[in-house]
């Protein structure tokens, strides 16, 4: 699974690098991109490695551990999903109310998937794809 992530992520990186190299880039537009968007090749490589570990760790901690631990304390599984989503929201360092709803939505989606499937595999894959989607924002500066 990790090898699949790395193959996909570095393939995406190659696509982005080729697109940027073969077009005109609006440098001033690069500065206006959200801070989460990796703006250089080095930043994108680091972002890929960060995404590998954080996506995996967040799913293990917030879904695999937190929901299971809350359920073991006789907390309703749906309430456990909601409770586990709260620290997931705030550990991302919110900068706006939009981010609050974004992370709450994903926290609930991941929690529901975990409850329904009783496995973390799909959660981890989707989490990785969401993280990697931030790299695509750099394509907005192509003219």
Average pLDDT value for the chain? 94
Q: Give this prediction's pTM.
A: 0.89
Backbone angles phi, psi at 94, to 5 degrees: -65, 140
At 115, phi and psi to the nearest 5? -65, -45
Mean per-residue pLDDT, 80-102: 91
Rounded CA-CA distance 42/103 in Å is 26
What separation in angstroms does the CA of 12 have from each of 32, 60, 105, 116? 22, 25, 25, 30
């Amino acid at each position: 699974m990790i090898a699949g992530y790395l193959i996909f992520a570095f393939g995406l990186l190659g696509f982005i690098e080729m697109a940027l190299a073969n077009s005109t880039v609006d440098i001033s537009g690069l500065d206006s991109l959200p801070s989460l968007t990796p703006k250089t090749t080095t930043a994108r490589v680091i972002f890929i490695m960060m995404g590998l570990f954080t996506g995996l760790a967040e799913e293990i901690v917030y879904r695999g551990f937190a929901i299971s631990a809350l359920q073991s304390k006789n907390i309703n599984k749906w309430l456990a999903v909601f409770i586990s989503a709260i620290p997931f929201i705030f550990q991302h360092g919110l900068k706006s109310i939009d981010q609050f709803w974004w992370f709450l939505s994903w926290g609930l989606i991941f929690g529901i998937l975990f409850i329904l499937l009783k496995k973390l595999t799909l959660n981890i894959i989707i989490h990785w794809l969401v993280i990697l989607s931030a790299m695509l924002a750099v394509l907005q500066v192509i003219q």
